[in-house]
């Protein structure tokens, strides 16, 4: 089983930003030492979440501070980036890291409209913007000129330089939620990232992905490569006892949710309405923080003593998961506590699945 480490940590105040940024660099170096195969960077703006904000620039620092761990994005919010500049930056990153870049892409947050407004945009056309950007990005590393005319982008540029190290450029991944997206990505032969998918739903979603791969007539070897890549995201928190882990994780998730709801209430414009189909107990502002945290613990978290966590990882493996993204930091969690949990997971859980 393959393990990735995912960063989504909050800096609670401007005066802590520098400290928190350097703590994440240290945590990535620790993840590499512990045997995690990839680090995945989230992208959020303006409120201290994903404190580095600019994941592309931050990844260049990680490329210099690490040697073997792959550096991925979960995900690049495509509407916030000009696709030609993004293609150039990612090609440079691929060179700086000697071919260790993975690019998860998405149409942008469905909850934080203030992020779009900060870039002079609104989310109403985000799907179309993201699709155009992805079409350009898919052509960008083919060592030929790019000509594209769309609703948002008209580009006519020579071949992108520098050429990426990886053949045809860094692999592109898709963030998926809807059932149809699993089938579509399977048909297109694109690896997927999915957040907090309940264990009970994994087999059926993987079946849809398999049906899509069959429709796409992909070869068996390529299908197996895709299935090894497809990743499920979980909160991961390991402590000395089950009770300690549950109590501490619950407190941290409640505080995380409080911050999340407060900034959305304060910064989202009054005319913004969240699509009710995207809401869960974790994201629905009408639900109490305690109830939301309970949902996140039940369906989106792995926690407990090393023994219990091994059992939970084994359950995911039995359901078909071969790649687990581990978010070990929550809200403004103390950096030392994060490292302690990481080390317990890396030293006492991961070796059982090597």
Query: What ranges do the domains of the chain cover?
Result: 2-353
72 has a pLDDT exceeding 90? yes
DSSP summary character for residue 76: E
Q: What is the per-residue pLDDT across 146-204, written as a single tens digit (0 to 9) for each?
A: 999 999 999 999 999 999 999 999 999 999 988 999 999 999 999 999 987 899 999 99
Distance, first Cα to last Cα, the chain: 6
Ramachandran angles phi, psi of 168, nearest 5°: 65, 10
323 has a pLDDT exceeding 90? yes
pLDDT value of residue 9? 86
Fold for 2-353, please state it: TIM Barrel (3.20.20)
Ramachandran angles phi, psi of 69, nearest 5°: -65, 140
pLDDT value of residue 134? 96
pLDDT value of residue 177? 87
Q: What is the per-residue pLDDT across 6-37, written as a single tens digit (0 to 9) for each?
A: 999 899 999 999 999 999 999 999 999 999 99
pTM for this predicted structure = 0.97
Contacts of 351 (CB under 8 A, 6+ apart): none
Q: What is the per-residue pLDDT across 284-315, written as a single tens digit (0 to 9) for each?
A: 999 999 999 999 999 999 999 999 999 999 99
Residue with tokens 């006519």: 156
Q: What is the per-residue pLDDT across 252-294, written as a single tens digit (0 to 9) for each?
A: 999 999 999 999 999 999 999 999 988 999 999 999 999 999 9
């Amino acid at each position: 089983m393959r393990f990735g480490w995912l960063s989504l940590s909050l800096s609670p105040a401007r005066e802590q930003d520098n400290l928190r940024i350097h703590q994440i660099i240290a945590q990535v170096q620790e993840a590499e030492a512990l045997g995690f195969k990839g680090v995945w960077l989230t992208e959020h703006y303006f409120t201290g979440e994903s404190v580095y904000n600019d994941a592309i620039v931050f990844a260049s620092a990680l490329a210099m501070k690490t040697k073997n761990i792959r550096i991925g994005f979960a995900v690049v919010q495509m509407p916030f980036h000009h696709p030609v500049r993004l293609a150039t930056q990612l090609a440079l990153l691929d060179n700086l890291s000697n071919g260790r870049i993975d690019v998860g892409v998405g149409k942008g947050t469905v909850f934080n409209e203030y992020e779009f407004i900060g870039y002079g945009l609104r989310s109403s056309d985000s799907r179309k913007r993201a699709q155009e950007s992805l079409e350009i990005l898919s052509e960008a590393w083919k060592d030929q000129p790019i000509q594209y005319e769309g609703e948002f982008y008209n580009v006519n540029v020579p071949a992108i330089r520098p050429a990426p190290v990886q053949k045809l450029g860094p692999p592109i991944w898709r963030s998926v939620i809807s059932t149809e997206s699993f089938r579509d990505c399977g048909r297109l032969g694109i690896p997927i990232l999915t957040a907090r998918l309940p264990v009970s739903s994994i087999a059926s979603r993987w079946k849809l992905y398999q049906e899509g791969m069959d429709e796409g007539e992909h070869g068996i070897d390529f299908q197996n490569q895709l299935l090894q890549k497809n990743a499920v995201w979980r909160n991961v928190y390991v402590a000395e006892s089950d009770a300690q882990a549950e109590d501490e994780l619950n407190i941290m998730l409640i505080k995380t949710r409080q911050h999340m709801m407060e900034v959305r209430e304060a910064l989202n414009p009054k005319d913004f309405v969240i699509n009710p189909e995207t809401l869960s107990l974790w994201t629905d502002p009408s639900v109490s923080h305690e109830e939301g945290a309970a949902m996140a613990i039940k369906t989106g978290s792995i926690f407990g003593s090393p023994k219990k966590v091994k059992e939970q990882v084994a359950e995911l493996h039995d359901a078909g998961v071969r790649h687990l993204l581990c978010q070990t930091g929550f809200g403004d969690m103390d950096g030392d506590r994060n490292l302690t949990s990481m080390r317990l997971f890396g030293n006492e859980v991961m070796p059982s699945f090597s």
